[in-house]
Structure 1
Amino acid sequence: MAKQLSDEDLYVRINEYLQDVGNAFPLRNYVVEGEKVINGWYLKAETITFKPGGSIWFSQTAQERRTSFFIVAKDIVCEDLNQPGLISWQRREIGEQISTAGQAPTGHHGESDGESGGDGQQGAKGNKGYDGKSAPNITIFVMNVPSSGPEVNFQGQKGGKGGMGQKGGDGGNGAKGKPASQNIANCIRGAGDGGNGGNGGVGGQGGIGGEGGNGGVVTIVSIPEMLQSLEQKFRAVISAGEGGAGGEGGAGGNKGSGGPGGEKALPHCRGDGSRGNDGQLGSSGSVGENGQRGVDGDIFHGEMTKEEFDQYIWRDVQTFR
């Protein structure tokens, strides 16, 4: 449901228009066929005609200079009710965040006889996804829309996916078992078993998704007898961009190897020690959290009489072509 502009807010909108656009002379008939990219911050024509599926896009170049745009027309005509046309804004595709570089530290290797290797460390969390861009704002001054109006899509951009978490550290290797020991007559101690390998570290959690961009503010100003129908004729999309998906968890670290058994001591101590057990492969990290959704925009309607349109918007200017 559109909100009604107060007289004070309408005054601000008109003065923003006069400051940014001034008394620019309009085109006679601007035909929108295919994609039309606007590099400025306004379009002014006596009649704007949308061919089936035609669209107007305010360019990224224009957005570098302004965050508020204007479309001004006496008549906006859509020739095809099933493909009425579109007014929107350009934005770059958000790339996926890079994975966290490197690998978590390896667990310590067994040093003394039969010592087990240490577990690998957990990987670092993935990088946060890139934030979606917030939509700009647009004000449309129009006196007549005889049929359907175009869709006005100023939805915020979705946030980017979070980066993959870092790989977990490898498990440390177990040390060799203690060798057997004998004297001249007997075996004093049999060969010891090798140390167990350490477990691989858990992969890092995926990065949080980027935040969604905010929806824009769409303002439609018309004469009182037309305004009531414009809410149905114009389909305004001002919802916020959704947050980006969380990144994938990092891979688990490799398992550490069990150490070899200690050596026998012949003739009294027969048989080498057993090889230590290998560690476990580290588990993958958890998926990151989704990014936060942006804030929805707003839709406003404002009333101006035909006399006020002539006084403030048209001012008896000559048309161009």
Structure 2
Amino acid sequence: MTEQNPAGAAKVAVLGAGSWGTTFAKVLADGGADVALWARRPELASEISSSGRNSHYLPGINLPRSIRAHSDLERVLSDADQVYVSVPSQALRGNLDKVRGHLRPDAVVVSLMKGVERDTGLRMSEVLGQVLGLEASRIAVASGPNLALEVAKEWPTAAVVASTSAETAQLVAKTASNSYFRSFYNTDVVGTEFGGVLKNLIAVAIGIVDGVGYGENTKASILTRGLAEMTAFAVAFGAKATTLSGLAGLGDLIATSESPLSRNNMAGRLLGQGYAFDEVVASMEQTAEGLASVRPVLELARERGVDMPIVTQVAQVLDGTLEPKDIAPHFTTDSDLPLGE
């Protein structure tokens, strides 16, 4: 377990100065932590440190002036008690190669990412443990209904932190809490992490039917069946079903599926309007993690014998083998709920 610095505040590093990494740095600083933020581009680090702004990713948001941003990774990691990682999931492994050797031997590492590694099918916490050689008790994941801009505006919200170590989860949850952001904690890493991954895929499906022009009945049907699909998948990998009905599952699913701020919902809407996959990717300034996670999630589902009709039809739309207007995954499988529900 990590110690706090002599001033009494946790000394933390946040890796990644995109919208969510910068927002979480704000959350931590507003909670009293001593925050150093790593930005890949020196000019972005300079803007954050000098003006308290990240105009590209969080326009109009004033950041705490206490946040120190640098493009020197070693400098950011120096003496950090807790390290929060927020980089695109498919780029995580490459970025971690630069982190090894600069971590404190007792530092806790927290994943803020919601994806599955394409080539291995590993969750982000598993990639962290594998590449950095960390015990599970030193790793935590944070998830929940947390659209970056809303959090940056200090609109009240909540999240959940999970670790196999309840002590680690509680420490991180305490650090990542303030007057507008409350973190709860549990020990169900699998459920918390897969909830964050799977809701992105359902949000893409909701976006597709929205883009086609279908109404609330269609979206509510997919939302409801999507939650059942998410739960069946996560439970097959050892998660608790109750986790998927909480902040990391249902809560995140609602926020991501319904908000125009959601990149995954936006990607789905563009697909529903007839844009090809490559055109959607090219048009988006930030990564829609759901698009990259579709294939590895389906491969994992096949390995465990889990039927995922919604994700399957999203994959078919992405491949161009299914017209967006024909998406109706809630019609392709029998209900596993009691008659009438």
Same fold (TM over 0.5): no
The structure richer in helix per residue is: 2
Higher-Rg member (1/2)? 1
Q: Which has the higher strand share?
A: 1
Higher relative contact order (CA 8 A, sep 6+): 1
Length-normalised TM-score, structure 1: 0.22
Calculate the TM-score normalised by the size of structure 2. Answer: 0.21
